[in-house]
């Protein structure tokens, strides 16, 4: 789980309520009378909520997997002796035993034939990836592909008849809706925590190129990365990916990638092994929130240059959808396929203009381009 230099109590509360209910539901009226300020109606509501949590956890459990990775440190992999200069002159130092680095994470099943989705940072640099299913089978997984732009990765395990998760878009939830986070925090498999959707559309977090996070106060900790954020209908609405914390633990601010972004990346990775995003060929300047996106540089020969987009233009909409920030423009362009022609509305010299841009293919992460002034630039959109 990524920590941004930022559940158990709720789980204990739910477990206590469940145990009380299981002991003898028929004693509820007497118990209610003995609790000051409580009524049977209050307790009935709490029990119904507890049963809803329980039903969701049981229903989603078969679709959730734990992920363990092993990475060989490059410096020790060769096993070659090293020459060290000490007080008595050169000394030949032989390496000690290779220390393997292990990582933990979570994922969830996409298809019956073994496709699994998780965060790319969970499996980055892994020499070996092991997946533990809900029935305790542990299988070696192969990496289908990663998309660092959204922090999504797809794995495949040699198994059939698995239980895929039910997926929905984030447009189907609202701030205040109850959600459950399932995963393996600190290596504790099949842990369930509860909370609400605290906010939608969080951007500028700095974890990925395309950001539009769901924020939740459901407890998310290291090891939850890649796990599902689930509604009370049992549908996965997001992938847990980061926490905002000052201590490295849960401070009640967690972030999940909306399922529509996860699904788009996963579908492309399964089909082509990579994700292709639309590309304008511009560098953007920051503007006050809600003011659109300012073009700071137009890369020569790129799609924007050919469409006569100019430095200083303020982009206010793409395909009729309002652009209110740099991040929203990046998402609007990235959501479209290369070769697609889109209508871009710009403001130039106080006038609105409609320009048609035929999108190119965004260069892969880490690929820079040279501008007309000879400078190497990492493109935005």
Query: Of 203, 341, 353, 202, whose CA–CA distance to 278 is shortest?
Result: 341
Q: What residues contact residue 58 under an 8 Å CB cut-off, 6+ apart?
A: none
Q: Is 236 in contact with 165 (CB distance < 8 Å)?
A: yes
Which listed residue (50, 66, 120, 121) is catalytic? 121
Q: What residues contact residue 133 under an 8 Å CB cut-off, 6+ apart?
A: 65, 139, 157, 159, 162
Q: Which residue has the tokens 């953007």?
A: 284
Tokens of 113: 């034939």
Query: Of 5, 2, 7, whose CA–CA distance to 250 is shortest?
Result: 7
Query: Could you tell me how many helices (H) and strands (E) the chain has, helices first?
Result: 8, 25
Instruction: Please give the span between the terminal C-alpha atoms of the chain, in angstroms, as a whole number.
Output: 28
Which listed residue (63, 120, 198, 225) is catalytic? 225
Q: What is the DSSP secondary-structure string of 307-371?
A: TT--TT-EEEEETTEE--SHHHHHHHHHTSPTT-EEEEEEEETTEEEEEEEE-EEPPPTT--EE-
Q: Is 313 a catalytic residue?
A: no
Tokens of 85: 């200069």
Q: Is 151 a catalytic residue?
A: yes
Strand residue runs (E) in 76-176: 82-86, 89-93, 101-109, 115-118, 128-132, 138-147, 152-156
Q: What residues contact residue 37 under an 8 Å CB cut-off, 6+ apart?
A: none
Pairing relationship of beta strands 236-244 and 2-4 according to DSSP bridges: parallel
> How large is the angle between the packed helices 8-23 and 40-60, nearest 10 degrees?
110
Which listed residue (66, 120, 147, 151) is catalytic? 151
> Rounded distance, CA 278 to CA 362, Å?
6
Within 13 Å of residue 365, how many CA atoms lie on the same side as its CB? 11
Residues with catalytic roles: 121, 151, 225
């Amino acid at each position: 789980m990524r920590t941004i230099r930022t559940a158990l109590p709720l789980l204990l509360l739910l477990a206590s309520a469940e145990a009380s209910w299981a002991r003898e539901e028929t004693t509820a009226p007497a118990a209610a009378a003995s609790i000051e300020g409580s009524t049977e109606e209050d307790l009935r509501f709490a029990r119904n909520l507890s049963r809803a949590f329980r039903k969701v956890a049981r229903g989603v459990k078969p679709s959730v997997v734990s992920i363990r990775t092993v990475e060989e440190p490059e410096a020790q992999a060769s096993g070659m002796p090293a020459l060290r200069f000490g007080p008595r002159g050169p000394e030949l130092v032989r390496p000690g035993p290779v220390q393997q680095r292990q990582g933990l994470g979570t994922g969830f099943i996409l298809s019956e034939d073994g496709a699994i989705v998780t965060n790319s940072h969970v499996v980055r640099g892994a020499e070996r990836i092991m997946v533990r299913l809900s029935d305790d089978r542990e299988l070696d997984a192969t990496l289908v592909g990663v998309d660092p732009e959204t922090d999504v990765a797809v794995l495949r395990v040699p198994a059939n008849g698995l239980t895929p998760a039910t997926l929905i878009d984030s447009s189907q939830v609202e701030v205040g809706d109850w959600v459950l986070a399932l995963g393996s925090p600190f290596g504790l498999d099949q842990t369930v925590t509860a909370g609400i959707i605290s906010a939608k559309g969080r951007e500028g977090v700095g974890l990925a190129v395309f950001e539009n996070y769901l924020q939740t106060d459901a407890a998310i900790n290291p090891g939850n990365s890649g796990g599902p954020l689930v509604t009370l209908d049992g549908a996965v609405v997001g992938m847990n990916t980061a926490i905002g914390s000052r201590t490295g633990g849960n401070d009640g601010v967690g972030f999940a990638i909306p399922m529509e972004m996860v699904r788009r990346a996963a579908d492309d990775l399964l089909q082509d092994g990579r994700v292709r995003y639309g590309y304008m060929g511009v560098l953007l300047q920051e503007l006050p929130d809600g003011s659109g996106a300012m073009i700071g540089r137009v890369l020569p020969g790129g799609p924007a240059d050919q469409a006569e987009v100019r430095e200083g233009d303020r982009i206010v909409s793409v395909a009729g959808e309002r652009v209110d920030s740099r991040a929203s423009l990046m998402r609007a362009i990235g959501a479209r396929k290369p070769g697609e022609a889109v209508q871009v509305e710009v403001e130039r010299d106080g006038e609105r203009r409609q320009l048609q841009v035929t999108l190119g293919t965004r260069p892969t992460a880490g690929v820079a381009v040279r501008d007309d002034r000879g400078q190497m630039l990492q493109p935005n959109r």
